[in-house]
Amino acid sequence: MEGNTEYYKGSYVVLSDPKTGGILAISGKNAVSNATGYSLIDASRNIFTSPMTPGSIVKGASMLVGYTTGTVQIGETIYDECIKIAGTPEKCSHAKLGRINDIEALAYSSNVYQFHIAMRVSGNQYYYGMPMHASLDDFETYRNVFRQFGLGVKTGVDFPVESVGNIGTGTSPGLLLDFAMGQYDTYTVMQMSQYITTIANDGVRIQPHFLKSVHESTDDGSLGPEISSVSRTELGTLPYDEAYLDRIQEGFQAVMSYGLGKGVMGTSPNPAGKTGTSETFLDTDGDGVIDTETISNAFVGYAPYDDPVMTIAVTSPDISHPSTTNSYFSYVNRRLSKQISSKFFELYGNPA
């Protein structure tokens, strides 16, 4: 077992066809300790029923909030340095990124760029140490856009049960900043898959499905004549200027070509995607009280960028935790994303 991973139980993956909504593959495995070590059990159900804080993968949707509200312009630069709101600690990106534009903000996963958008959406003009106000309407501005990607609503997948995730009820200003960087509401892996599929599909949200066709039975067990088939079902189209989604797609390509996601999809041809890291919390002793902070990872992506044939969503909850004695951070989510993406194109080939 890798160090600092004692709370990590398993990972979850969804591969989809962005053109049809067909689910190409799913897998969810949990490690369970036993007398001889560990055994793996199937936990694929969690893909539909166990939401997780997504982290930065949602910054594409958050950027669209900025574009559509007019609070940020395509190509606008913002200086990335820690911000300070009255009564709260400083909030920062993972590093001081300096002056960056919207593409670079996605490529290098700037939290601060998203903080400035959220402050503008809520009518605040930032200065260091300022008091900030936010209302339920501001949260709804974000959630309305997120829902159009499939985040915070049921996906419509042909599975008996699915969660809509956990929708926060608080409206404090700090929570709005958290929301903008994917650190408040929670979503299932299936919702994350529909989100990236919507981006890959040029803003058209497609209903995901397992069933492809129904055939008559035969005596020899072979596939009989087709009775019916499941066609592509469009659930909606993003009602915004195409230039906005084009910009987000360009940002997701930058993530994979020179940003924080470089190499995450292995040998996939010309990929686009977004990495995410989030703070998560556990009740480790079952007493109903959250007692342990953990770190979780998510990744969403598609390939090829200009004509996608697959999308991938991978999550690994609770992979590490803050520790004073061990700073190791597991890259299991990155390894899974790389190996699965590469294997897909090894098996099915690169499109011409």
**Which string of DSSP letters, residue by residue, matches 175-198?**
HHHHHHTT-SS-B-HHHHHHHHHH
Domains and CATH numbers, the chain: 10-215+231-348 (3.40.710.10)
pLDDT of residue 324: 53
pLDDT of residue 304: 98
Q: How many CA atoms lie within 13 A of 96 on its CB side?
A: 5
CA 85-87-92 angle, 5° bins? 40
Q: What letter does residue 232 receive in the DSSP assignment? A: P
pLDDT of residue 127: 97
Residue with tokens 């996608």: 308
What pTM was estimated for this model as a whole? 0.94
Measure Cα distances from 268 to 29, 312, 339 in Å.
24, 11, 10
229 is catalytic: no
Q: What letter does residue 287 receive in the DSSP assignment? A: S
> Quick check: 177 and 62 in contact, CB under 8 A?
no
Q: Return the beta strands (E) in 154-255 as ranges.
A: 204-206, 213-215, 226-229, 234-237
Query: Looking at 16, 33, 50, 56, which residue is catalytic?
Result: 56
Measure Cα distances from 350 to 75, 239, 256, 258, 268 in Å.
32, 32, 17, 21, 8
pLDDT of residue 157: 97
Going residue by residue through the chain, which has 352 residues, state the pLDDT in tens, using 9 for 90 and above: 666 787 889 999 999 999 999 999 999 999 887 777 788 899 999 999 999 999 999 999 999 999 999 999 999 999 999 999 999 999 999 999 999 999 999 999 999 999 999 999 999 999 999 999 999 999 999 999 999 999 999 999 999 999 999 999 999 999 999 999 999 999 999 999 999 999 999 999 999 999 988 898 888 888 888 888 888 999 999 999 999 999 999 999 999 999 999 999 999 999 999 999 998 888 777 888 777 888 999 999 999 999 999 999 999 999 988 765 666 678 999 999 999 999 999 999 877 5
